[in-house]
Structure 1
Amino acid sequence: MKKNTMKSISYIYNILVFGSFFIWGFSVQSEEGLVYPAEHKFLLTIFLILMFIGMVLAGVNLSSVKEKGDAITRKTWITGIIMAFIFIIFKVVSSVK
């Protein structure tokens, strides 16, 4: 896959996922402006999985910048997946106190 194609796919995917998450959150909020996670566990899990895929795509896009050539290699995909996992681990560790 070419880098420009992957870049376009990554941007469009992330815009659609985050945009649909905010639209969904706005539509299910209560009168006080709160969203209760216990009532929407399944949809929140789906959004978390979709956002993880978006992080992998963003990581692949970022790691392909320093790669020579016009194609995205297997090494670039592995680097993108590792970057997403490191980000998630960092956020989990920083939130546990």
Structure 2
Amino acid sequence: MRNRTNQILIRLNDAEFAQYQKRRKRTGKSGNAFCLACLLNHPIRTVENLPEILRQLKAIGNNLNQIARAANAGFEAPPITQEIQEEVELLWRLLKP
């Protein structure tokens, strides 16, 4: 990681801060990462409903882990497993920048 020793301070009114928060949350980036991307002209990708998508991805991952544990314990995995994995891979492709 780069050693960042310089710091800047900006002041925003309530409307500007609300807009900053809204845009930052849509990207899923931390405040520092979002500001750096803006300052350095990096592309900023927004994903609508990101918190909900991430919640669903975590739930799907949890279910896949349970299926994997059952399969490793000798139980046969249900046939829908491949379909679930394909959907998860599609979601990750959509979320990757």
TM-score scaled by length of structure 2? 0.39
Query: Higher relative contact order by CA 8 Å / sep ≥ 6: 1 or 2?
Result: 1
Higher helix share: 1
TM-score scaled by length of structure 1? 0.39
